[in-house]
Amino acid sequence: MQLTIAAAIAPHVWSGKLVGAMAITFVVQGVTIGAYAARLAGVQTKRIATSISLFNLFVTAGRLANLFVIFFMGPLSDQAANAVGKLQADAVAAATWQHVFEIQLRFIVLAGTFGMVVFAFFLPMFTYLFRRGVHSFEARGSVPHSLARLLSPRVLIDVLRSEVLPSPADLRNFDWRVLPKRLLIFNTVVMCVYAIGVQSSYLASVLDVTVRGTAIGLSGVVNGIGTIAFTLFVDPTSAIITDQAIHGKRSVEEVRSMVFYLSLTAIAGSLLSQAILYPAAVVIEVVARFAAHVHV
C-alpha cells in the first residue's frame, strides 16, 4: 500500500516554478558580475565615488531582486516538505522527494552560474553603461533621472553597439600576477557561500521538516556572513587597487585584469558551491535542531 501511494505522488523535477526561480537567479547573479565593471568605469572617468555609488545601486538592486525568487522556490519547498512529512513512514519515498528537491536547487544554482558566464561576456557593455551613467548623473544630479535617460532608445542602441568581445590577445593580456592572491581566493570563497546561502537553507528545511522554519530563517545568517566577508576582504582590496589606478600607481590594464579575474573567480566559486550545497544544508539542519531544542 505504501509503495502504491509513493508511486501515485512521485515528484517531478521540472515545473513552471522551477523555471521561474532559474530565470530570476540567472539575472541576479549576472548583475553581480556586471557590477564589477563600475570599478573600471570609475578609473576611466576619474569619478570613483560616483562609480562606487552606482556599483552599490546595482548590487543592492540585485540582492533585492533575489528576494523574488522566494515566490518560486518557496512553493517548491512547501511541496517537498509536505510530501516528506506525510511519507515519514516510507523512508524511500521521503528520500525520493528530498533528492528531487535537491536536484531542483542544483538547477537553480547552475542557472546563476550560467548567468555569470553570459553577463561576463557583456562586461565591455556594462563598463560603457556605467560611464554613461556617471556622466548622466553629473549632468542631472539625480539617479532616477539618469536611469530614465539610460532607457532612451538611442542610448540603448549606443550601449549595445559598445559591446565588443575580447580577442584571444586581450585575454592573454589579463595578468593575475599583478593582483593580490588573497583577493582572488576570498572572492572565490565568498561567491561559493553566497551562491547557495538560500538554497542550502531550503534544502535543510526538507531534510528535517520538524525544524523547517528555523532552517529557512538561517538563510539570512548565511548570506549575512557572506556579505560581511565580502565587505571585509574583497571590496576594500578592490577599492585600493582602483584608487591606486586613479593616482597613477597602477595602470588601467591592471584594473581590467582585476575585473576579469574577479568575474572568473566568482564563476569558479559558483561552480564550487555545487559541492558544498548538501554539506551546508546538513550543517544548517544541525544548527536548526540545536536552536529548536535549546531551552532558554
Q: Could you report the per-residue pLDDT of 84-93, keeping only the tens digit for each? A: 988 877 888 8
What is the pLDDT, as a whole number, of residue 3? 42
pLDDT tier at 209, thresholds 50, 70, 90: very high
**What are the DSSP calls for 203-262, one per residue?**
HHHHH-GGGHHHHHHTHHHHHHHHHHHIIIIIHHHHHHHHHHHHTTSS-HHHHHHHHHHH
Q: What is the mean pLDDT of residues 73-83?
A: 93
Instruction: Indicate whether 147 pLDDT > 90.
Output: no
Statement: residue 151 has pLDDT above 80 = no
Q: Which residue reads 532612451 in cell numbers?
A: 152
- 4-35 tens-digit pLDDT: 444 445 678 999 999 999 999 999 999 889 88
Q: How far apart are CA 263 and CA 39, in angstroms?
A: 12
For residue 10, what pLDDT is reported?
Answer: 63
- The Cα–Cα gap between 236 and 67 comes to 26
Give the pLDDT confidence of 258-286 residue by residue, as tens digits: 999 999 999 999 999 999 999 999 999 99
> Using an 8 Å Cβ cutoff, are 24 and 111 in contact?
no
